[in-house]
Structure 1
Amino acid sequence: MTEPINVVVTGAAGQIAYSLLYQLAVGSVFGPEQPINLRLLDIELMMNVLQGVVMELEDLALPLLREILPTADPAVAFKDADAAFLVGAMPRKQGMERKDLLAANVNIFKDQGEALDKFARKDVKVLVVGNPANTNALICSHYAPSIPKENFTAMTRLDQNRAQALVASHLGVQVDQVKNVIIWGNHSSTQYPDVTHATVNLSKTGKGVISVPEAVKDNEWLNGEFVSAIQKRGAAVIAARKMSSAMSAAKAAGDHMRDWFNGTKDGQWVSMGVVSDGSYGIPKDIVFSFPVTIKNKKFSIVQGLEISDFSRSKLNITAEELGEECKEARQVLKP
């Protein structure tokens, strides 16, 4: 029988985790034949709530779910971890500046990086969901020097899913007919949703697979309203719900980790925040979202894509913001 893997979810009593945990337990992420042990980490104040989550997980009666361990101790949660979803963070509230969010969260991810370094497997796959995700992933990696940098990623899959869905809606096709949308940069309002290299299947109209710009035939919309809508989608959800995205964020986290473990399909790529190696002129050692392909649990940045002057200007803006975030993070961190 397949041995269970140890999967950590932080902020396990929160809303994103509540939607994520079922996906993990039912096999949607790691596969229908992969048993898992869930390690649920949250603060002491949330232990009573977390116990209710544990009861619900037990009541699911799912055969893949072997062990459930709720804890407030990172040493217990991260011991021998194979995969970690770092969801727990102070949520962004309406009117909150990103630098305030960064200051509130940076020490959380410092502590979790140190715990990963001491207790997790050295091939652990870490996905940072808690915002500001890119810089939190960088901080986490910095404090886990014995774990390869490429094992730390930030989630921009939610933005990719949003962009893919908006293009599909605009063209009147099913969302799975749109491929290779790219999110460049930061998971913030400076991110650049790019459909220059994306395709859409219009076989029902007799056109077959063509580029999204050719199908849309409206560069003004693609470079204006479309970009703005994706950049501001998170804020729009907060304005409507008075809370951050939860259900869609959980789905995206599952998508991200599923592809990381199982690989991408031939000819397709996904967006992930990864430590920059200098590709496309992006400064090294910031966590930047690139298009990647994945094989054998290792990602490779897609190379050779043509970058227009418009796209370059957008990449520069989001890279500059990430550079500033890194500086702010270093100022907030205690020696």
Structure 2
Amino acid sequence: MLTLLTSMYLVVRAVSSRAEPIRVVVTGAAGQIAYSLLYSIAKGDVFGKDQPIILMLLDIPPMLPVLEGVVMELQDCALPLLRDVIPTDKVDVGFKDVDAAILVGSMPRKEGMERKDLLKANVAIFKTQGAALDQHAKKTVRVLVVGNPANTNCLIASKSAPSIPKENFSCLTRLDHNRASSQVAMRCSVSSDNVKNVIIWGNHSSTQYPDVHHAKVNVNGSEMSAYDAVKNEAWLRGDFISTVQQRGAAVIKARKLSSAMSAAKAICDHMRDIWFGTKEGEFISMGVYAKGNSYGIPEDLIYSFPVQIKNKTWKMVDGLSINDFSRAKMDATAAELVEERDTALELLSQ
């Protein structure tokens, strides 16, 4: 019996190992977030333990020497799923036939730079990358925008790729979602997997709204609302929200570098949920195209909503009750996104 099971296992492994590799592009691939991310992708933590991977590593020309070092390290990991690593500074090479695109690279805000200058630089980057996706990627590609301002960069990329469904584009608010879940878990002295259905509404910025009105916490085997588990409404409506909103700045102040490890983990969580779906009865936060939403959010935005995912397709969680406190915060972050969008679209038309 054991021999038969062993033989069956080997046959399954042999069949699965013949699976066609998927092509995954990571931009800003020489940067610190990518350095924390690439190993997890290449060893199967995101797209499956039996899914071969071809990694396309895209960065700007001055970073190519650094990228060569990253390629050497990936080769030296001797990862069985990693079939090839292709470093490049050319978008037509980097986006060729990709199944998944993780757009990490963007122009960071520099000292003395006005917000409009930051948007202008990023509009140029994501217009180019969106057009390259449109021309070279598979039409089924799933695109995750990480580089900030992530929501508006994602909108520009999607508008620049008209032949790819807008539903295939999303931006990363999973890091904020994870931060919110962790803060509640620590407050309740439970592990983070005992917290579900927190929501990040809106922009990946300091206006985002971390909402736990619909969240559940499992405490000693009993599931209850986050408000009942925390037993501190003042904290949930005050320090909890500001802590999540300002967490990135707090990490930079402490490390003198941005959140790389936690951002990479959130990227993995986000893409794995797209590929394999969310758990039954649970939802996660993603910045997605707002068209058709039931929450009164302007439609031509990439806005973070609660979503459930099945068959690589997200569906917004509709019908959640929204109180006046939440409404005001959801509208405030939407207003910021409208302002960003209008500035970016003006720049896009120039």
Same fold (TM over 0.5): yes
Classify the secondary structure of the residue corresponding to 1:279: coil
Residue 203 of structure 2: aligned partner = 186
For residues 7-156 of structure 1, what are the structure 2 equivalents within 5 Å? 7-92=24-109, 98-156=115-173
Residue 294 of structure 1: aligned partner = 309
Normalising by structure 1, we get a TM-score of: 0.97
Residue 210 of structure 1: aligned partner = 224
Matched, 1:328 2:328: no
Q: CA RMSD in A?
A: 1.3
The answer to whether the 8 A contact 1:186-1:318 is kept is yes
Residue 239 of structure 2: aligned partner = 225
2:260 aligned residue (246, 250, 256): 246
2:325 aligned residue (291, 305, 310): 310
Residue type at the aligned position of 2:135: K
Call closer, same or farther: CA 1:30–1:107 in 2, change over 3 Å.
Answer: same
Task: Compare CA radii of gyration and give the structure with the larger one.
Answer: 2
Normalising by structure 2, we get a TM-score of: 0.92
Classify the secondary structure of the residue corresponding to 1:13: coil
Q: How far apart are residue 64 of structure 1 and its match?
A: 0.3
* Ranges in structure 1 where 5+ consecutive residues have no aligned partner: none
Q: How far apart are residue 98 of structure 1 and its match?
A: 4.5
Distance 2:111 2:174 in 1: 22
Matched, 1:168 2:185: yes
Q: How far apart are residue 101 of structure 1 and its match?
A: 2.9
The answer to whether the 8 A contact 1:93-1:244 is kept is no
The answer to whether the 8 A contact 1:94-1:238 is kept is no
The answer to whether the 8 A contact 1:94-1:239 is kept is no
Q: How far apart are residue 191 of structure 1 and its match?
A: 0.3
Identity level (%)? 64
Call closer, same or farther: CA 1:46–1:7 in 2, change over 3 Å.
Answer: same
Distance 2:198 2:178 in 1: 9
Q: How far apart are residue 94 of structure 1 and its match?
A: 7.2
The answer to whether the 8 A contact 2:294-2:319 is kept is no
Residue type at the aligned position of 2:144: L
Residue type at the aligned position of 2:174: R
The answer to whether the 8 A contact 1:237-1:244 is kept is yes
Call closer, same or farther: CA 1:103–1:144 in 2, change over 3 Å.
Answer: same
Call closer, same or farther: CA 1:304–1:246 in 2, change over 3 Å.
Answer: same
The answer to whether the 8 A contact 1:11-1:88 is kept is yes
Call closer, same or farther: CA 1:263–1:98 in 2, change over 3 Å.
Answer: farther
Call closer, same or farther: CA 1:241–1:92 in 2, change over 3 Å.
Answer: farther
